[in-house]
A and B are shown apart, each in its own frame.
Chain A
């Protein structure tokens, strides 16, 4: 086996790992770090179930070699924290945006990136932005509603914060 050493941060924690050169980020996270939140549906980049955040951007863990993540900062669904993540989780459960849950970690990470951008989106635009995440259960309506609600919640929270600050001045 052709082994390599990879140094990377996962959910805020630094790791030094020995692995095969052919190991993908998905297999490194699942098999060597026990982070089984991300799922492997296709290993061809199509389904989106393996989506994780690498250096601030959503990427396919199944199409990213572990070696290419040297010095990278990786966030998986297990490490997805903060007000936007809370809003999304809450909205997903209220809107029935998941059934079996296979697609959910990838959906949450792709959606988190959208919510963080604070750009208002209509249903069609959310659909296009999430077209790289396939769900075989829900029919997407609940997912789109949940993401829009979390996005609106994020935008509202920010304008509320601005209003409060203005009042205090």
Chain B
């Protein structure tokens, strides 16, 4: 199917873009890479009256280091992270995550700001950026504000952004030289959205257990989840003991599920999440990037 008709604007500055958005009101929408919005418009699940296209705004496609990490323009593409055309301050986590998003043709257009604003919990950036405690810089004609990603993502396709607000930058704190990360995406075919997506961040003995660990899970709820109970179960434990079966109970607690009442489909999903978390921990434990 084809998208319904809309008014199309392609500004070249942020000032112009936010003015156009303010004029467009509730029926206006930003388009960046279009890799989520165009399919939705083609299926007529979204019918914006006005589109403000960011592809002409060069100042949004930049990346630079800051004293505490790095700042990436909202329209930095997944491909630019993958091939490190922007600086990486996460010891390989950002390029690794980017390389797993969709297919090359999708990564060449899709943007980090678009992915965060779209707020699909099975996508890579929401979970990875929440785990890293990144924040977005937001502009509108009413002013500027900074929103932590953990507060930006409110649910499926729902964010704390107002219709006239534009994400201009994503600010990512750098990982300490001693920090370890691990990530695992469970999907049946390369390039598909995750059935489960886990990120582990923390400090570990060279070959030993995690001293400190933070775990984040995507594709399990309407937004990325911090796994507090599972972290408890993992901390200080010898890695060999952390089999998926041992993670199921704390994971159920984190997801608010009652193990005795769970149906087979739910049990299967839980098992997938447990395996995904274990593999994320394992990839970090070995210090590689599986």
A-side residues, CB < 8 A to B, are 1-2, 4, 20-22, 24, 27, 43-45, 48, 51, 54, 57-60, 62-65, 67-68, 70, 110, 113, 128-129, 131-133
Checking A22, A57, A110 against B8 with a beta-carbon cut-off of 8 angstroms, the contacting residue is A22
Inter-chain contacts of B55 with A (CB < 8 A): 68
| Contact in complex: A21, B51 (CB < 8 Å) | yes
- Write the nearest CB–CB distance from B77 to chain A, whole angstroms: 9
B103 at interface by CB-CB < 8 Å: yes
- Write the nearest CB–CB distance from A136 to chain B, whole angstroms: 15
| Contact in complex: A65, B104 (CB < 8 Å) | no
The SS class assigned to the B binding surface is loop
Q: In residues 243-280 of chain B, which contact A (Cβ within 8 Å)?
A: none
9 tightest A-B CB contacts, nearest first? A132-B103, A21-B8, A57-B108, A44-B39, A63-B38, A131-B190, A68-B55, A58-B105, A43-B42
Q: In residues 52-93 of chain B, which contact A (Cβ within 8 Å)?
A: 53, 55-56, 79
Checking A2, A24, A131 against B5 with a beta-carbon cut-off of 8 angstroms, the contacting residue is A2
On whether A65 and B31 interact (CB within 8 A), knowing A45-B106, A58-B105, A131-B190, the answer reads yes
| Contact in complex: B43, A21 (CB < 8 Å) | no
B-side residues, CB < 8 A to A, are 1-8, 10, 31, 34-35, 38-39, 41-43, 51, 53, 55-56, 79, 102-106, 108-109, 189-191
- Write the nearest CB–CB distance from A21 to chain B, whole angstroms: 3
On whether A67 and B53 interact (CB within 8 A), knowing A45-B39, A131-B103, the answer reads yes
- Write the nearest CB–CB distance from A57 to chain B, whole angstroms: 4
* Residue among A4, A63, A70, A129 facing the most chain B CB atoms (10 A cut-off): A63
- A22–B7 Cα distance when bound, in Å, is 8
| Contact in complex: A21, B5 (CB < 8 Å) | yes
Inter-chain contacts of B190 with A (CB < 8 A): 128, 131
Inter-chain contacts of A48 with B (CB < 8 A): 103, 105
- Write the nearest CB–CB distance from A107 to chain B, whole angstroms: 12
On whether A132 and B4 interact (CB within 8 A), knowing A21-B51, A43-B39, the answer reads no
Checking A27, A59, A62, A67 against B108 with a beta-carbon cut-off of 8 angstroms, the contacting residue is A59
- Write the nearest CB–CB distance from B104 to chain A, whole angstroms: 6
- A97–B288 Cα distance when bound, in Å, is 36
Among residues of B, the one whose C-beta sits closest to the C-beta of A19 is: B8
- Can you report 19 residue pairs joining A to B where beta carbons are below 8 Å apart? A2-B6, A2-B7, A20-B5, A22-B5, A22-B6, A44-B39, A45-B35, A45-B38, A54-B108, A57-B108, A59-B105, A60-B106, A63-B39, A67-B8, A67-B53, A68-B34, A131-B189, A131-B190, A132-B103
- Write the nearest CB–CB distance from B33 to chain A, whole angstroms: 8
| Contact in complex: A57, B79 (CB < 8 Å) | yes
- Write the nearest CB–CB distance from A56 to chain B, whole angstroms: 9
- A4–B9 Cα distance when bound, in Å, is 9
On whether A129 and B105 interact (CB within 8 A), knowing A2-B6, A64-B34, A65-B38, the answer reads no
Among residues of A, the one whose C-beta sits closest to the C-beta of B7 is: A2
Inter-chain contacts of A44 with B (CB < 8 A): 39, 42-43
Inter-chain contacts of B5 with A (CB < 8 A): 1-2, 20-22
- A51–B102 Cα distance when bound, in Å, is 14
- A64–B33 Cα distance when bound, in Å, is 8
On whether A67 and B10 interact (CB within 8 A), knowing A22-B4, A51-B105, A57-B79, the answer reads yes
- Write the nearest CB–CB distance from B79 to chain A, whole angstroms: 7
- Write the nearest CB–CB distance from B56 to chain A, whole angstroms: 7
| Contact in complex: B105, A60 (CB < 8 Å) | yes
